[in-house]
Chain A
């Protein structure tokens, strides 16, 4: 050995670390002696009976308000049905009893009962939000349901129900993939988290701190001693830019038609309303999961459609700005035009005759725009389209926004592009942003939906202010011609159904031919507009699946009338009063 015959000894100071270890180890062994020998009977008993349970008291979420502090979503107390896997005695029989009471498939309950749980003593939810009848039936059957409990908890209540489902989203049980990502932040299986919309994007702010108690139970599962308690505390509240009244009006006007409406303040990008149909019931997700018509799709931001004649706004700007045409240059529309070996039709078979741009836009003449489109060329039009934000996401603070698609210049011909047909795709929100940019003279505001985040004690945590993404320079002359044209679209053009008394509206219709038209699928109808035409305060996009654009214009007209002229509103006086407080008017 390397230190052979040298007696192992370490004098004084050199033994410091070893001596310290001796002291620490002595303490640890003493502690073990106490736990494992003196207190052994007590701990053995606890261990045999496995009688420590934790009971969640829920994670309260913050309230979501509209811009005038009217609540749109808030927590409400509810009773849930839970079970403790370890305490079940006869899963098959209990599942059968329960399946009759709560109208849930027996197999589904059994699957929950028999799954292996990481902690078999934690409560697992069977069904949330029990009705009174269910609770009393379960309580009657309590003796034959060991391990099953009714537990107080929370449920999310959406005041406008389906009208805000896409906007606010919904909360749902955390999925396994989400859990993997969020485990480090203290999320647990069975936690409810925001799954879409505002609830999802701002989940971090809305989510409160979970509370619960840890109890020792006796052999029957009854609580004997509270070993620890933690109070829950609510999350932060969120104030939206959305106006509840406008949201209700546009929802009513859209009715049950398949489509969407979005409303924005063109002066700052605040979203005032957004509704998409068909919708779903945020408190009853399961029923809608396999319904037809994609009820979970928020068409305003996730639906992609060709813009149709709405694109003529871009064509007109491109033609005037590049000097390809002058204001009074005329083109004769005979109803059709021959280009190479193809015949291109105007929507009006007999043609519009000689038109200049001041008439072509209101009448939405395809021949006129096709002709000037060929004159300016595809790449110029695409350049202007991308300048106005088509083909890129608007950046709204909602999950899953699509960016649309701007084709390559080789993929599309000028005739189709100039009237917004072919492989060009936009979301309704992008078109809303486009018309807002026209309305305010060239500012592209980033659309946003959350105005403020407020802590439960009323302090402002975060404030979102309008964000100017870009300024697009368009000469005043071009803007004048365009805006005059847009006014005339409503005055005597394709959108005359949108015309209302007292207030002038400017807008543009778009009818989208669908590739499968031959199969009997109708057209899509678009209408984008702003009002009042001379000092725009509100911009709107109406999109209707399988309907005409003039129908869309009609809906927009009715909605704008109710929004802008509240006296005409047939509802009660209180609503009118509230509307006066809306700061944008």
Chain B
């Protein structure tokens, strides 16, 4: 019986797990929209985004994923252009992460993650990473969007670029020597970066590492976030019954801090189940990586998998003080159209790879 159940769960694909997560996300946003800060329109807007993203997903499902290998370069240049455009669209002196399109705002850095992964996978699918020039080109492919995102500044996304880069070159067969030397270069060049930074930039990094330096801003969020999670207890306060989040202690409880709202309402049990679902979702992608014979598919799926893992780990970790607080959404659950769109397209790509693998 238990084995049958286990097998049933194993056989579910990425789309099943993703849909489950999406449903949890919609429920959480519904709960959030009952609070004082977030209006119902947020919930309706997200539903609209889900419909748009599903249509986009159905459309992409019809495209053979191998075609992406060919259209990767133009996609790459478009996204670089958008990232540059965002840097120059100064709104009242402060940097912005969004491109405004009427009612909806587009966040190119979300799309940049997936497109960079596609580009890198397409390039390394035909090249031998162990050759130095290939490694150099790979570094450039990831380096340009990395620096542009860092300039925004979006430290969280920049960090994800680094993680994904290492994962892909590892999967592509980079030697241990290459990986270790790259790692060391990164470590040793960071103090140099520190000296060319301006004091306010250093302050930002220090607050990033230790939010309690800024008890009125990020530190305040962190204290409230930890209280919120802790007050959930074992069983949670119950759906729609969260008090911390409803009273808006946390200004971002529908976006980056939505995990708190979840942990408050569903408690420790809820967190274990949620992480379990994420784990099954990751596993279903990992299987695709293992079974596909194609190099491009393998690298692409690896990149997608690592993006998801990094998002979930960093997002949940930051809400409980294990990671610096950065603006990284919880895939499928946080409010935000760009993130949702990219997550669904990623899932569709993985499903495509899986379908095409039958042919072998």
Which residues does chain A contribute within 8 Å of B268, judged by CB atoms?
Answer: 32-33, 36-37
Closest to A119 in B: B248
The answer to whether A28 and B320 touch (CB under 8 A), given A44-B233, A46-B231, is: yes
Question: A184: which of B96, B306, B309, B358 is its contact (CB, 8 Å)?
Answer: B96
Chain B: interface residue total (CB-CB under 8 A) = 66
* Interface residue B67 (Cβ < 8 Å from any Cβ of A): no
Q: Of residues 13 to 65 in A, which have CB atoms within 8 Å of B's CB atoms?
A: 14-18, 20-22, 24-25, 27-29, 31-33, 35-37, 39-40, 42-44, 46-48, 50, 52, 54, 56
Docked complex Cα distance between A10 and B305 (Å): 15
Docked complex Cα distance between A152 and B119 (Å): 57
Which residues does chain B contribute within 8 Å of A39, judged by CB atoms?
Answer: 230
Chain A nearest CB: distance from B235 CB in Å? 10
Docked complex Cα distance between A176 and B257 (Å): 25
Best-buried of B216, B217, B219, B247 by chain A (most CB within 10 Å): B216
Which residues does chain A contribute within 8 Å of B37, judged by CB atoms?
Answer: 118
The answer to whether A8 and B287 touch (CB under 8 A), given A28-B313, A214-B216, A214-B219, is: yes
Contact A182 B92 (CB under 8 A): yes
* Interface residue B213 (Cβ < 8 Å from any Cβ of A): yes
Chain B nearest CB: distance from A453 CB in Å? 16
Which residues does chain A contribute within 8 Å of B11, judged by CB atoms?
Answer: 1
* Interface residue A585 (Cβ < 8 Å from any Cβ of B): no
* Interface residue A185 (Cβ < 8 Å from any Cβ of B): yes
Chain A nearest CB: distance from B302 CB in Å? 7
The answer to whether A35 and B320 touch (CB under 8 A), given A29-B275, A40-B234, A47-B231, is: yes
1/0 contact string of B226-251 vs chain A (CB within 8 Å): 11111111100000000110011101
Docked complex Cα distance between A450 and B114 (Å): 48
* Interface residue B125 (Cβ < 8 Å from any Cβ of A): no
Docked complex Cα distance between A210 and B289 (Å): 51
* Interface residue B133 (Cβ < 8 Å from any Cβ of A): no
Which residues does chain B contribute within 8 Å of A22, judged by CB atoms?
Answer: 279
* Interface residue B212 (Cβ < 8 Å from any Cβ of A): yes
Docked complex Cα distance between A33 and B316 (Å): 14
The answer to whether A46 and B227 touch (CB under 8 A), given A8-B10, A10-B290, is: yes
Chain B nearest CB: distance from A17 CB in Å? 6
Chain A nearest CB: distance from B144 CB in Å? 24
Closest to B222 in A: A228
Question: B313: which of A15, A24, A121 is its contact (CB, 8 Å)?
Answer: A24
Which residues does chain A contribute within 8 Å of B305, judged by CB atoms?
Answer: 17
* Interface residue A460 (Cβ < 8 Å from any Cβ of B): no
1/0 contact string of A109-136 vs chain B (CB within 8 Å): 0000000101111000000000000000
Docked complex Cα distance between A46 and B279 (Å): 32
Contact A230 B214 (CB under 8 A): yes
Which residues does chain B contribute within 8 Å of A121, judged by CB atoms?
Answer: 249
Closest to B359 in A: A2
Which residues does chain B contribute within 8 Å of A204, judged by CB atoms?
Answer: 93
The answer to whether A14 and B230 touch (CB under 8 A), given A28-B320, A36-B268, is: no
Given contacts A182-B92, A214-B223, 6 further A-B contacts (CB under 8 A): A35-B229, A37-B234, A52-B223, A120-B248, A212-B215, A230-B216
Could you list which residues of chain A lie within 8 angstroms of chain B, going by C-beta atoms? 1-3, 6, 8, 10, 14-18, 20-22, 24-25, 27-29, 31-33, 35-37, 39-40, 42-44, 46-48, 50, 52, 54, 56, 116, 118-121, 181-182, 184-186, 204, 210, 212-214, 227-230
